[in-house]
Structure 1
């Protein structure tokens, strides 16, 4: 058994067809990691604060964006607190009520995406061995690319026939957001009770609210549909893209043209969504599928958080005069160039890591879904063989940073705010919130890896010293 404590543990040879299994010591470590040992996110009180505070924050930012010219507003004095809260509530009651139209639109999207996920043929991808299932590997139906293209065609037909105008998405943003929140809460609590009732819960703390937040089940499924993977792409990023298109339609109907800024958001959201669907077979190799449970943390965020808090720049630009955020040509070149560069690094680094894992399992198969970018697959990559049995990639983008995908992903999020300049601070919420999430997630990940790999993790950190940016951090 090799132990990666020096350069002698580094390997550079073909990895395809050499499936790795954990050592007996590795299995003991996996068992420890697959049990509840300590609270995260501040424990029960911390997660309760998140579950109540974040929806309130979403409403507040939306109200400021739409009704207060994109500026943050506060009570002017102690005496103004009650009237201020009254005004906030009135906007929610009137402009964000969960009306029947919003239920039809949001519910229709969910039902249609579930139908397509079940019905459309797809590529079957094997996932990573799951310790809690005795290292059994699950199969995932990857048909997002067909489903999303059919969704685009359907939406275009509904728009041009006038049955469902895409501009109505922006026009009903508040109503849709409330419905999404209700669905997020409902599914989170419903899945908790269903999982406990059927005896399929794992890694439980014993605290009700904390377990609802973190989740009780790992791989919930309806027939061939893995709900966790389905929700990660089919609802949030579809909505984010269509909101950008809705904003572009709104601009065109109002001004007779679409600004480069709005076109930027259409491109940015299309790139993200298309990356998820063209490389869907890589998703089963991620931490989200392998370890993260399906609780409020994931469910609410995908149903409501992502689509209704990442896209503030589109909401602002769709409701404000384009003269407020017109840039020079060099600025547009820099903006688009930054996005495309960051996207290339993000796409190829994610591809390199996921395909390396598939190569290690001996299940890699190259798919020609558009667009497959150069350097997305590493041949004979360098890695560190661990005593646990896993391999740590130290090649490609992963030779320079332990999280190159996070760096590129965050830069993309920053451009989503920069596209409207300094008109409003609210569109920068995505990048500010995202960096906090990434730093926290990295801490969780590195702590887990240090426990899992021991001295081999120390060797990996010496081989790749930069957590994010080489020479900086």
Structure 2
């Protein structure tokens, strides 16, 4: 098999091609910073007062060398680098099963070490012990050095994207079908190599699950510590921030505990690893997804038992749909069908579920995700729309992913996909969309 047949040129673009890739590459870091400067104590509120003066203040800041220097924090950068190194060392030394991924188009099968949940537990244990020994004020540095940590994570994302792009030109590399366009900006952004690795260390799956996702949980804990310092101890921390911690850390724990499931996702199977995934994993997840917890530090909301119960119920419903739907899919892909679900067999021999959650919509797990995202935002109340950025963004992201998946399935199954859509007409939300 020739190199050209294994790694054909990409014939189509996503995200409007190179201009869209460049726009997103700039927009993601800018949005991450903007969500801080537009919703923080430093800015004066969420949003800041005197909105009409914001354009002038932005222009003044961008023209000030001192403002640009303020984005850098050497101590925060060293701490972030130490955190990343800790995750690598934990991956290397903690025990874990080794599983095989899906067969690749070159006939090979990658092996992955499964110990992300162990790394998570170790991290939580160390953080808990540190807080217990030195008090909550010792763990507020993530709140205090927020901008410095964002800068460090964006820089790490950029460096990794450049590194894996350069690596992809070595002989024998398996490229992503969508990342070999020949355009530098686009391929660097979307990911040229499918599975960039250093020995047995798979860079893509490592970044997907460990540094950013676990850091998200630690950021939330740091926000609770900051509120505890201000309110005289953990006993006085608001019910709203406890809910956010419960929901988000629980979500992280669930994802890491079910680590093997990630190796059947589009990110691992079809997408390359470039700036899109690196900045999403390392910067966007920990510092955007934790917006609600950060907001509740300086806008402390007491929900009361009734609102708390309703929000818990909404999150529980979303989690049930998300987990049960994913369980049905994973069981079926692994040759099990304990619920005796019906399915449609395509001409290629592939089987598509047509009952259970997957008979109600083609992406029922996304519906559960959206319900949980809404539950994570509701504890912040209704004084600002900014804290609902996450659920809005996440809904758009999932709709985009659904459309990508439908397009891939249409190419793969042809007329069979049209017949399948007649059986399961709804995309995400049953009876609605």
- Normalised by the length of structure 1, the TM-score is 0.83
- Counterpart for residue 424 of structure 1: 384
- Counterpart for residue 117 of structure 2: 145
1:156 to 128, 133, 140: 128
Map 1:166-205 onto structure 2 (within 5 A): 166-198=139-171, 200=173, 202=175, 203=177, 204-205=180-181
| Aligned-partner Cα distance in 1 for 2:6–2:13 | 14
Map 1:334-353 onto structure 2 (within 5 A): 334-353=310-329
| Aligned-partner Cα distance in 1 for 2:78–2:256 | 25
Map 1:9-408 onto structure 2 (within 5 A): 36-66=10-40, 67-71=43-47, 76=52, 81-87=55-61, 93=67, 97-131=71-105, 133-134=106-107, 136-162=108-134, 165-198=138-171, 200=173, 202=175, 203=177, 204-256=180-232, 257-320=236-299, 322=300, 325-359=301-335, 378-408=338-368
Offset at residue 70 of structure 1 (A):
0.7
CA contact (8 A) 1:349 1:405 kept: yes
- Unmatched runs of 5 consecutive residues or more in structure 2: none
CA contact (8 A) 1:96 1:178 kept: no
- Unmatched runs of 5 consecutive residues or more in structure 1: 1-30, 361-376
CA contact (8 A) 1:244 1:314 kept: yes
State the secondary structure of the residue aligned to 2:357. Answer: helix
1:413 and 2:413 correspond: no
Structure number with the bigger relative contact order (C-alpha 8 A, sep ≥ 6) is 1
Offset at residue 280 of structure 1 (A):
0.8
After superposing the two structures, state which structure 1 stretch, 84-93 or 140-149, moved more: 84-93
| Aligned-partner Cα distance in 2 for 1:466–1:229 | 31
Offset at residue 74 of structure 1 (A):
7.9
| Aligned-partner Cα distance in 1 for 2:205–2:271 | 11
**Number of residues paired by the alignment?**
420
- Counterpart for residue 28 of structure 1: none
| Aligned-partner Cα distance in 2 for 1:247–1:207 | 42
State the secondary structure of the residue aligned to 2:143. Answer: helix
- Give CA-to-partner distance per residue, 1:358-414, whole Å, 9 cap, x none: 227xxxxxxxxxxxxxxxx74543222222232212233112110011111112112
CA contact (8 A) 1:195 1:216 kept: yes
- Normalised by the length of structure 2, the TM-score is 0.90
